[in-house]
Structures are given as C-alpha cells and as structure tokens.
Amino acid sequence: MLTETRPRDVQVAELVPRVLVLRSRTWERLKFEVEYGRQQGTTSNSYLLKAAQPTLLDPPGESFSQLYLKELAQQIDLRQLRYLILSHVNSNRLVTVKALLERAPQMTLVCSKAGAVTLRAALGDQLQLWIPRSDTPLDVGDGWQLEFIAAATPRWPDGLITVDRQHHIVFTDKLFGAHVCSDSLYDEQWKKLDEDRAYYFECLHAAQPRQVESILDRIAELTPPPHLYAPAHGPIVKFSRSRLFQDYRDWCHAQTEQETTVALFYASAYGNTAILANAIAQGLTAAGVQVAAINCETTPPAEMQALIHSSDGFIVGSPTLGGHMPTQVQTALGFILAEGNKTKLAGVFGSYGWSGEAIDDIEQKLLDAGYTLGFETLRVKFTPTAADLEKCQAAAQEFAQALKKLRKSRTVLQPSLVEAQVNRTAQAVNRVVGSLCILTTLPEGCTYMTQAAAILVSSVSQASFNPPGVTVSLPQQWADSLCLVGDRFVLNILKEGSPLVRQFQQAQRLGEQQLATLGLKSASSGAPILLDALAYIECTVESRMKCGDHWLIYAVVDSGELLQTTGLTAIQHRKTS
C-alpha cells in the first residue's frame, strides 16, 4: 500500500522520437472497484504520435480530463490533431472525448465497429469515424503506418490493439498493465511488479482466458517482434517483454485447467451490472474456479449453448430496463431453462434504478425450473459501492464452495493417462453408473439404421466384470419382441446435459424419419451408434427375467468406445413424494 501521497499530475516523456506518453497519475486508490484493491495508485496512459497527421491514442477518463487536456495543449496545438484512436470506449472516457471534440472538431475517431455503435449512440451520427480492417493500415504521413488487431473480449467487446511497426511498439490497452504509480517510466525493476501484474490479470482477464490467448497469438505473429508494449496502465514494458508475455500464457492456461467452471452470463446497460460481474468473477477465480464470462450482448448464441452444457454452474446478471430484462439476457436464460441440467448450481445478480423486476424474474424462473441457488440473490440500486462489491466477492466464494461440494458428491469420470492405455471397451463400460442411455437395436427383417428401434433407459447397471456385462430393465410391451436371448443391441451412454435426453423422453420409440435426423454410425450388428453420446457399448443378450411389468435383460459386452473424452455421465434423478 502506498505511503506517499502527492497531488495528481500528468507525466510526459518521449518513448522514441515523435512518440510521447502522457501518464495521468494518481498516487491514491483511483476507484473502489476490485482491480484497484492493492491500493498502489495507477496511471492512465495516453500516447501522442507527432506524425505528419498527428494522432492521439486513448485519452483518460473523466477524473483526469482537465489536467490532461491542459498538458496535451502544451504538447500540440489541438487544432492540428488528425486522428483519435480509441482502444475501447466507455462512459468514463466519453467525457474526455467529448471535451476533445469541442476543442478539435476536425478529428477523425478510429475505433472498432462495436466502438462506433457506442460513440454514435452517445455523441451523435455527425462524428467522423474510421473503422479499421486487419488488411488496411492507417497512414499518418511520411510512410508511417499503423496496423490494428481486433481484441474483442466479453469485458471489452470493442477492444482494439494498435501496432506501430516503424517504431516496434504495440499499444496493448488492457493487456500487460498494472495498477501502480511511480516516477519510473519503464519496468526496470520488473521483479517488484510480479504481484501487481498477477493481481491485475486476475481481476481483468481471468474470466476471459480464451479470448486473451487468441489476442496473444496475434501479437506473437508480429515480425519483427515489438520492442515495447505500451499498456493503458502502469509502466511501459521494455525489460520484461518475453517474461510477461509468457506469464500471460501461463495464467490463461492455469484458468482453463481448473476442474470447475462457472458460466457468468450478463448484460450491462450503464456499466453497473458489469462492475458486479467483474467482482463476482474475481471472487470465483480467487476460490480456484474457472470463470467463462459471457457478455450476452456480443456472444453468439451457439457459444452460449456450448457453455451451458460444459459448465458446472450458471450465474446470470441483468439490469432492469423498462421493468424487464434485456432481450440478450432473455435469450441466455431461455437456453439455460431449455437445455441446462437442473442439478447444476445457479445464481442471480443485477443492478437497477427503480424497481428491479428483471432480477426477481430471473430468480423465479430458475427456481420454478428446479435450480438451486448458490447464494442469496444480489440486488444493487444504481452504482455499486465498495460494500456491494465485497458482498459480490463473498457470494462468489460461497458459490464456489457449494459447487465444489456438489462436484465431490457426484461421480465424475475423467480420462487419465493410465485409463487411456487400457482397451476402449473397458473405458466405455466404466461410464455405466446407473446411467441414462439410449438402447438401439435393429429388428429382424430391417436393413437400414434409421429403421432401428430406440428407447431411453435409466435402469442400467454393470453386472459382471469377467466377462464384462450389464443389466438393463425394459418395459414389457417393448421387450416382448426385442432383445431376446442371442439378440444384439447398442447401449448409447449419454452425457449430462445432452439434448438427446429430452428428445427421447417423449416416446419409447422414434419413427424412422426422426432417427434419421441424428448423427449415426453402424455397429457390427447393424444397430445405430449415436455420435452425440458420451460412449457406447455393443452387447449380446445372454438371459432374460420377467420382473413385474418389466423384463430384466443381462447382456455381455462385446465391444465399446468413448466418443467424448470428458464429461459427466447423465443420471436419472427421480422425484420422491
């Protein structure tokens, strides 16, 4: 924590000839948000390129506007500015942008397509905008060209990175920064920055490792490699470029390797819900849970659906707009209610101005669907306070502990290096744990897989080890003519959350046309293997026993294979009165 207190100022320095940095500095904690929690102060870095067509990058937010504009006017006549590049757009920065445009209306604003939408909505359609493409550099005069890397993430969907190949500088915005304030322009004592950099990553990027890795890949392709990383906050990265780049790789990998994953769905009209989401994400990360942050406004529906199936729990955050949740949140919630597994843990949070109906609506829909909430729903009126963010972090840690307990109480069969070396049939048999399966068999006289009989079964158990065998309970009316002694069938073992469960629950058999819509391949008996299953085993009926209104079938396993290497076996959870 800082012991030194000095007034805010703007430090100006030359990085290379004609490239200046203007570091708006505060020696105290800038905001109450979690990312400033180490209380080391911070800098908001802006860059001025004194090219034939002078170009400015990333002015600071409102709290620095007056100091910054006064110092900028000492460095250049604002009427000469040709371009203003915005690596991302937010309401705080817009105050300074608006003040700049009043003094320099001739400027063209350079931003991503998503950033342009925000700018037009806030400042009007009369703006002069230039939206870069990856194959079209911006010429700022005398052969000095700037290139751009799309850097969209859930937190900054309008992210943009600027590359100055002539001076070997990459302006990295939110990557490679740290919330520290000092007189040092560069990272000479980079070892002392390790904890601050790790904390900065944890707060800003731990919930979006896949997107960060994609951006890192693009930076790694640059030739020749950059000499400087010029971030939005903290010192310029000169002496620890390779080390910090690899740290980011390692930190991303560590997040994606966590055993437990939570999908954090949110939309934010005024930024308040996003602040809550960031605090929850940081709390989950600190508790050892991987967070997949999903900005519902920019994430494709297919990606949302995939995360619903692959995550261990869901948390949904929403503002209230006109008494309702935004359409994008409705879409995400619809996917969760239709396709999510009701045994997974859920959570709800949101901000509101007056009534907060959206938060209550989400909570009630999840409870009605049978979900258990992992923490008491968080409702925050207007802008979150420091106390609100502490509650978010505490709720996230409570959610993480509940999730880990739930995970331990369930059977999780993940492949290991040893398991990979045993035969594939044994791997498949190991997935039978009283599981939900689809039994398929080809009746006598049928030739095509789509003519097969298929039924969803839940009373399945491993009955013998040598030879490997299973028992399956089948309804009498179904088994009277099928699965006789000597008949062969395929047991398709389903993955938790699989849409096949719902599809097969409505009828005991699918008609030929319906079965034809699924991905199939033929087993040696001719019965279809469902390619969307977790695993399958092919069996031969050895014996049958009449048990009330069902037949109990004992069958020997002939062969089998894992079709997906990760996932939980779907289990039938019967309701009790």
Least confident of 75-84, 268-277, 338-347, 416-425: 416-425
Asked, colleague to colleague, whether 258-403 and 437-562 share their fold, the answer is no
Over residues 120-140, the mean pLDDT reads 91
- CA 288 to CA 291: how far, in whole Å? 9
Which tokens hold the place of 71? 């110092």
What is the token pair recorded at 511?
């008609």
| pLDDT higher than threshold 70 for residue 35 | no
The answer, yes or no, to whether residue 577 has pLDDT greater than 60, is no
More confident: 508 or 25: 25
Q: Count of alpha carbons within 13 Å of 247, Cβ hemisphere only? A: 21
Tokens (6 digits) for 374: 């992992």
Q: What is the pLDDT of residue 444?
A: 83
CB atoms within 10 A of CB 247: 16
Rounded CA separation 362/512 (Å): 39
pLDDT (0 to 100) of residue 513: 45
Beta-bridge partner residues of 538: 490, 559
**Of residues 226, 177, 201, 382, the one with CA closest to residue 282:** 201
What is the domain partition of the chain in residue ranges? Answer: 9-255, 258-403, 437-562
Instruction: Please write the tens of the pLDDT for every residue from 131-155.
Output: 998 778 999 998 999 999 999 998 8
By three-state DSSP, how is residue 508 classified?
coil
Choose among 438, 431, 421: nearest CA to 478.
438
For 559-575, write each residue's pLDDT tens digit. Answer: 999 888 777 788 776 55
- Residues 296, 265: contact at Cβ < 8 Å? yes
pLDDT digits (tens, 9 = 90+) for 363-391: 999 999 889 999 999 999 988 998 999 99
What residue ranges in 505-569 does DSSP mark as E strands? 520-522, 528-530, 535-547, 550-562
Query: In whole angstroms, how far apart are CA 251 and each of 152, 200, 201, 202, 209?
Result: 19, 11, 8, 8, 8
Q: Tens digit of pLDDT for each residue in 444-463?
A: 888 888 888 888 888 888 88
- Tell me which fold the domain 437-562 belongs to: Pnp Oxidase; Chain A (2.30.110)
By DSSP bridging, strand 55-57 and strand 550-562 are unpaired
Q: How far is CA 477 from the centre of its chain?
A: 47
* Residue 301: predicted pLDDT: 87
Lowest mean pLDDT among 459-473, 489-503, 560-574: 560-574
More confident: 253 or 568 = 253
Taking only the tens place, the pLDDT of each residue in 310-331 is 899 999 999 998 788 898 999 9
Reported as a single tens digit per residue, the pLDDT across 280-306 is: 999 999 898 999 999 998 888 888 988
Work out whether strand 468-475 and strand 460-465 pair parallel, antiparallel, or are unpaired: antiparallel
CA 241 to chain centre: 26
CB 159 within 8 A of CB 212: no
The model's confidence at residue 276, banded by pLDDT at 50, 70 and 90, is: very high
Asked if residues 541 and 555 have their Cβ atoms less than 8 Å apart, the reply is yes
Both tokens of 403, joined, read: 């999730």
Q: In the chain, what percentage of residues exceed pLDDT 90?
A: 57
Predicted local distance difference test score (pLDDT) of residue 414: 43
Query: What CATH number is given for 258-403 in this structure?
Result: 3.40.50.360
3-state secondary structure of 25: strand
DSSP output for 407-430: HHTS------TTGGGS-HHHHHHT
Tell me which H or E stretch contains 208.
Answer: none
Candidate ranges 52-66, 427-441, 484-498, 504-518; pick with highest mean pLDDT = 52-66
Residue 3 has pLDDT above 60, yes or no: no
**For residue 376, what pLDDT is reported?**
94
Residue 495 has pLDDT above 90, yes or no: no
Tokens of 177: 């920064």
pLDDT digits (tens, 9 = 90+) for 77-91: 999 999 999 999 988
Structure token digits, residue 442? 């080809």
The pLDDT value given to residue 556: 93
pLDDT band at 418 (very low <50, low <70, confident <90, very high): very low
Mean per-residue pLDDT over the chain, rounded: 87
Pick the CATH number of 9-255 from 3.60.15.10, 3.40.190.10, 3.20.20.80, 3.20.20.70: 3.60.15.10
Residue with tokens 């309970």: 473
CA distance 543 to 562: 26
Name residues whose C-beta falls within 8 Å of residue 516's C-beta, 6 or more positions apart in sequence.
450
Q: Provide mean pLDDT across the span 532-538.
A: 91
- Rank 25-34, 211-220, 539-548 by mean pLDDT and report only the highest: 211-220
What's the confidence (pLDDT) of residue 429? 59
Q: Is the confidence at residue 32, as pLDDT, over 60? A: no
Match 């261990």 to its residue by tokens: 312
Decide if 193 contacts 248 (C-beta within 8 A): no
Omega before residue 300 within 30° of 0, cis: no
- How far is residue 537's CA from residue 558's CA, in Å, rounded to a whole number? 7
